[in-house]
Every structure is written in C-alpha cells, then in structure tokens.
C-alpha cells in the first residue's frame, strides 16, 4: 500500500492573493518565483490562511508541507523554529 508522502520547505510569504469566486488563494514566497496555492476546500483553510498572513506581516519564515517535491499545493503551514 502506498504511503502519503509530503515534502517540506522553509519559506517567507511575499504575498497572498485572493480572487472573489476563485476556488483557491495564490501565495508567493521570497524564495521562489512560483505561485503556490491553498485550496478553499481544504478542511483547515482558515487556519492555514491566517498562518500565512501572520508570517507575511511578521516577515518570518514558515514551514510548508507540499503535495510533491516540486509541488505547488500547500497542505499544511507552521512557524519555523529558530534556535
């Protein structure tokens, strides 16, 4: 049986773009030219969006969990721990 494999990246939010009626929110990061997406159908959409906005306002890195190694779908977000 195949395992659910996800990939993590540490990045800093540059922008969060919401379009009325769109099924997703587009997020850009300082470390990448790619547009990442957070689906509004995600069961924890509000929590994840709030975490992304907080990271952007504080200019602090976040740990993203993505669907594939080079994927663009955000599955989870949490603060990056600093030592």
Residue 5 maps to a domain: no
Contacts 24+ apart (CB under 8 A), 78-82: 78/51, 79/51, 79/55, 80/10
Residue 25 maps to a domain: yes
Residue 1 maps to a domain: no
Q: What are the tens digits of pLDDT across the range 4-47?
A: 777 999 999 999 999 999 999 999 999 999 999 999 999 999 99
In what helix (H) or strand (E) does residue 47 lie, and over which residues does it extend? helix 45-58
Residue 6 maps to a domain: no
Beta bridge partners of 44: none
Instruction: Answer yes or no: is pLDDT of 59 > 80.
Output: yes
User: What is the domain range of residue 48?
Assistant: 12-79
């Amino acid at each position: 049986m195949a395992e659910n494999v996800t990939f993590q990246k540490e990045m800093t939010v540059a922008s969060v773009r919401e379009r009325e009626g769109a099924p997703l929110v587009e997020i850009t990061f300082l470390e990448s030219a790619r547009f990442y997406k957070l689906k509004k159908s995600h069961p924890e959409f509000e929590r994840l969006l709030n975490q992304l906005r907080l990271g952007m306002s504080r200019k602090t890195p976040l740990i993203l969990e993505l669907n594939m190694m080079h994927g663009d779908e955000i599955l989870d977000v949490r603060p990056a721990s600093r030592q």
